[in-house]
Amino acid sequence: MIFLLALLPLCASLTDAADKPYHFGFKKSKNGQPASIDQEGFKDILVKHGAIFTGDPSKKDLYLTFDNGYENGYTAKILDILKAKKVPAIFFVTGHYVKDQPELLKRMTAEGHLIGNHSWSHPDMTRVSNEKIRDELDRVKEQVAQVTGQQQMRYLRPPRGIFSDRTLAASKALGYTHVFWSVAYNDWNINAQKGWKYAHDKVMAQLHPGAVILLHAVSKDNADAMGQIIDDARKQGYEFKSLDEMQVHTP
């Protein structure tokens, strides 16, 4: 009994460590150099669970990803541009989006894009149980399948970019690969749009080989800049790829 009691503090500390929340962040790319998470304190955890934040730094591939928590009237325009430019993307959707925008979901899959999981109700996953995580993810997957026929859902982006060792392990056990990002800017604030050139310049300044680009489809600036971003990236020798084409790379 004394031995078991002595182990209790150790068990508690291990549990606390697994539940330590991290907010994803990174050192931005400059002059085409790789973005970095070396100083963020969570690199080992991401590697341990096979999470993605960038692709192969030796290949000029780009991976376009969108977070779609709600619709703000710009996704159709984004899809028009992606179709015209023959660029694949993945859209991470919430339960609200699934219920509210079934026709856009159908269009995404019909035009060859992936739909990823952004959780049903957008909670901080580190503050809910593993059972709740399963429910959050299963509801999105099942409803997307009913709407679009997409039976597989392999990719997950955690709400707010918050995660822990435990939440990554729980999601991985359900068959998900966490997808973070290596290019981003403050685009989600619909009250702070600054014009297409601002969005274009923010994205272009951070491009690097293997970049996973995070954009929010609620941004008018992103929709207006999308075509120019694609054209200018291609002029620099970049090629847009689907996440399904990414070769696993350990940063």
Residues known to be catalytic: 67, 216
- How far apart are the C-alpha atoms of 129 and 83, rounded to whole Å? 40
φ and ψ of 213, to 5 deg? -95, 120
- How far apart are the C-alpha atoms of 199 and 72, rounded to whole Å? 17
The number of CA neighbours under 13 Å toward the Cβ of 224 is 12
- How far apart are the C-alpha atoms of 75 and 222, rounded to whole Å? 10
- How far apart are the C-alpha atoms of 119 and 96, rounded to whole Å? 10
- Nearest one of 226, 247, 186 to 59, comparing CA atoms: 247
